[in-house]
Amino acid sequence: MTGVAPQRVFAACAPGLEPTLARELDRLGLAARAVAGGAEAEGPDAWAVACLGSRSADAVKARLWEGAAPGLAAARRDLARRYPGVELESRRDGERATLSADAAGAPLFKRGWRARVGAAPLRESLAGGLLLELDYDGSTPFLDPMCGSGTIAIEAALLAGRRAPGLSRTFAFEGWPGHAAGRTQAVRERLAATERIPPAPVLASDRNGGAVRLAGKNAEAAGMAGVVRIERRDAAEVDPPPGPGTCLVNPPYGIRLDREVEESWRSLGSLLGRLRGWTVGVLAGDPALSRFLPGRPARVLEVQNGGIRCAFPVYRP
């Protein structure tokens, strides 16, 4: 890497996952720190590394200039000449200013495999970030007992298989003047070389037959049909393999507590008591519903899902 100028990025993520994103970018080889709304990172080929490799980022902004605020206008003119047609975004913070551009060109949570969604879709990037927050690495069994359209389980399978989320996509920065295509290809090849067959089961289930069929179609579109084992079953009837393992679930919730929502949470509570030795994360759109779960969480993170403030209690039964 000697002689290669580092690149800087700001990667955005769901509120609450900023430290998770910073740790992920560090593991990808960048020097990162959590900031409000995401993480700032620096390193060789940072634009490519963040766009191709990050599971928890929603967007990647290339930092093209940073300096004293009075120099903003001149810097903008210079960058407009160097990057014709690229939309520049300016930001001032006191006496400092930055100029950035969207390196991805489209939201990173749009992985390209999910053609159909359920009634309450979860962003792939949020699912990926929550899996990382639980320290899931694919080495032990995974379970989503209320899988809906399958987003969480499919993201778990992709993570377990170490398949970088952006490998099948082309990003905006690849069309910018001066783009070093060979270096981006090298990043792609380096990430692709880490792929493997997931070593432990990835299990998904739902009591709704339509959701199970949809999850199966999405798993096939993602190339994970042979990895994710999906079945129709109520959470209370799931027979999990012995721990350790990781369970991540996004149970239903409503503006008012109806019988169906309450039954779902009671079923989850029944299952939770049988997940001895597991790490269990629950995305709770209505934190009050957690009263149907046994025991106290080891910790609780606050995140946002589509603008809805959610609790994310983590249990270790």
Q: Who wins on pLDDT, 243 or 247?
A: 247
Closest CA to 207 of 148, 249, 252: 148
Listed in sequence order, the DSSP H helices in the chain are 18-27, 46-53, 72-82, 124-133, 151-160, 181-192, 209-221, 259-272
DSSP, collapsed to helix, strand or coil, labels residue 37 as coil
pLDDT for residue 120 is more than 60: no
Average pLDDT value for residue range 216-229: 95
The answer, yes or no, to whether residue 204 has pLDDT greater than 80, is yes
What's the rounded Cα separation, in Å, for the pair 138 and 142?
Answer: 7
Q: What DSSP designation does 284 have?
A: B
Q: How many residues does the chain have?
A: 317
The pLDDT tens digits of the residues spanning 158-183 come to: 999 999 999 999 999 999 999 999 99
Domains of the chain: 1-108+165-194 (3.30.2130.30), 124-161+196-315 (3.40.50.150)
Q: How high is the pLDDT of residue 288? A: 87
Both structure tokens of 236: 């209370």
Q: What is the DSSP letter of 241?
A: P
Q: What is the pLDDT of residues 265-290, one digit of tens each?
A: 999 999 999 999 999 999 998 888 99
Of the CA atoms within 13 Å of residue 290, those in its CB half-sphere come to: 21
Query: Quick one: which of 10, 88, 90 has its CA closest to 54?
Result: 10
Is the C-alpha dihedral spanning 307, 311, 163, 221 positive or negative?
negative
Put the strands of the sheet holding 299-305 in their side by side order: 228-232, 202-206, 142-144, 245-249, 278-282, 308-315, 299-305
The DSSP call for residue 250 is -
Q: Are 77 and 101 in contact (CB under 8 A)?
A: no
Query: Average pLDDT of 59-81?
Result: 97
Q: Is the pLDDT of residue 256 over 80?
A: no
